[in-house]
Amino acid sequence: MALAILDVDLLAFEQGTARQRAAVVDGVLRSLGTGFVLTRCDLPAALLDDAYGLLGAFFALDAPRKQAFARPEACGQTGYTGTLVETAAGECRADWKEMLNWAAPLPAHHPLHRRFPLLYPEQLLPEAVVPGITAVLERFHASLADLQRRFLRVIATGLGVHVDFFDAVVRDAPTLTRAIHYPPMAAAPAGGHVWAAAHGDINLITALPRATAAGLQVLVEGQWLDAVAPQGQVIINSGLMLERLSNGRIPTGWHRVVAPEDSSGARLSVVQFCHPTPSTVLNPLASCIDGENPQRYAALLAADALEDVLYRINLLHG
């Protein structure tokens, strides 16, 4: 049977009958066989519009003013990252994109902050040049993080563990929200750069609400397919950490961002990477191991997995 990206309804899982809940779980697990699923949700459209408006104002600033909010030592975990910096693992050409990153701060005395300072830097947002942006982006981060936590309950049910299994796994985790501005390709330097080369995310799941333009493509059974999140829906893709925890039952969703041939404009999108706490041991779940599916992965600390990827994509600086 050919794999297909399905459209499910998170709200039906939370508010529906037992039969509706079971249908959502079945649809999510089948769709995540591709690494992707599309879900209806309750993310406020006005909040997304407000975020895009303020982010658009930031990315429209000149390079020196944006660069003032760069913190290379934060390794992409907060602040601004300029064009031609992040490079997909295994690629020799950097992506033609610029980014603004933020997360929910932890108190300085929090044990996770003290043990993993690289993954919990002091947050830096461009409030000084775009007044009001901090409150909107913090609200957006919290809303999307809540959505992902709720969606993980569907996945937990499908994997045969307690519905709340992932709640503790993601509590106080370094979940990261990233605004990505893809400038017009006409301005890109020579050398074959693309907006974002093919890659899989390291985290558990990634939420991708609607963007301002097309360009996202997902890899399904060897073919690149255009993917668009309509109003009121979010694309969820699975990451390398979920593939490890599920013993390969849920593969990593490979994707890229390529400017359409007839496009001469820019693209702005906001995505969120849902991480486990850095101290989480990524060991395949017992419910995903049996005689026909022996354990494929050894245990790995989430912090080690994340730092390795940051190094390979050119964000881990000395």
CB within 8 Å of 111: residues ≥ 6 apart: none
Show me where the domains of the chain are located. 38-312
- Model confidence at 313, pLDDT cuts 50, 70, 90, reads confident
| Helices 133-159 and 18-31: angle between axes, nearest 10 degrees | 100
What value does the mean pLDDT of the chain take? 95
Higher per-residue pLDDT: 4 or 30: 30
DSSP, collapsed to helix, strand or coil, labels residue 296 as: coil
pLDDT score for 151: 98
pLDDT at position 317 is 64
Residue 269, pLDDT score: 97
pLDDT tens digits along 91-107: 889 999 999 999 999 98
Q: What is the pLDDT of residues 219-266, one digit of tens each?
A: 999 999 999 999 999 999 999 999 999 999 999 999 999 999 888 899
Residue 287 pLDDT: 97
For 7-38, give the DSSP string. Answer: EEEHHHHHHS-HHHHHHHHHHHHHHTTTTEEE
Residues 44-51, mean pLDDT to the nearest whole number: 97
Protein fold of 38-312: Jelly Rolls (2.60.120)
Cα–Cα distance measured from residue 204 to residue 241, given in angstroms and rounded to the nearest whole number: 5
Please tell me the predicted confidence (pLDDT) of residue 1: 52
User: Could you tell me where the DSSP H helices lie in the chain?
Assistant: 10-15, 18-31, 45-59, 63-67, 111-115, 133-159, 165-170, 240-245, 302-312
Task: Report, as an integer, the average pLDDT of 187-197.
Answer: 92
- In this predicted structure, the answer to whether residue 194 has a pLDDT above a threshold of 60 is yes
| Average pLDDT of the residues in 109-129 | 93
| pLDDT tens, position by position, 49-92 | 999 999 999 999 999 999 999 999 998 999 999 999 999 988 88
